[in-house]
Amino acid sequence: MNSKATHSSLKGIAEEYANSVWNGKEIGIIDKLIDQDVLIHSLLGDFNGIIAMKEVVQAWLKAFPDLHVDNEIIIGEDDLVSIQWRANGTHNGEFKGRKPTGKLVAYSGVSVYRIKDGKIVEYWAYLDMQHLLSQIE
């Protein structure tokens, strides 16, 4: 892949997903942008399939219903897009066995998307989970 326009469109898919899901709470966008057999590598575990993707997203949004993510750096290379982001929200739902605390959290991380034929086929999420958990203890 050597087309600047193609890299732009791949970045657009990843950015649309990130903004729509995390900031817009639009779970339905998953059906549009995620492949049925997506591979997910998340700090909640490794999963496969669009239903698992929805469950992972819903777990985060249940724990942090006002979650807001700001994309800071977006890089596209071949079929991969990486987004460095910063997030904040309020811990108002159970998360990793911890009852809601009502505490504000702020953390940052990187998401990597593999995109094929206009769909996200593989997804990685990286963040310092210990830093996040220390804010809700």
61-119 tens-digit pLDDT: 999 999 999 999 999 999 999 999 999 999 999 999 999 999 999 999 999 999 999 99
- 121: closest CA among 19, 24, 17, 8? 17
Q: Please give the order of strands across the beta sheet that includes 119-127.
A: 45-48, 34-42, 119-127, 104-116, 80-90, 68-77
- 1-15, 28-42, 88-102: the lowest-pLDDT one: 1-15
Domain 10-135: CATH class, spelled out: alpha beta
Question: Residue 4, Cβ neighbours under 10 Å: how many?
Answer: 8
In 3-state terms, what secondary structure has residue 77? strand
Q: Are strands 45-48 and 34-42 parallel, antiparallel or unpaired?
A: antiparallel
Mean pLDDT of the chain: 94
* pTM attached to this predicted model: 0.90
Mean pLDDT, residues 8-30: 95
Mean pLDDT, residues 6-22: 91
Write down the residue that tokens 């290379």 correspond to.
77
Mean pLDDT, residues 9-18: 95
Residue 56 has pLDDT above 50, yes or no: yes
Residue 12 has pLDDT above 50, yes or no: yes
pLDDT of residue 1: 47
Cβ–Cβ < 8 Å for 135, 116? no
Residue 6 has pLDDT above 90, yes or no: no
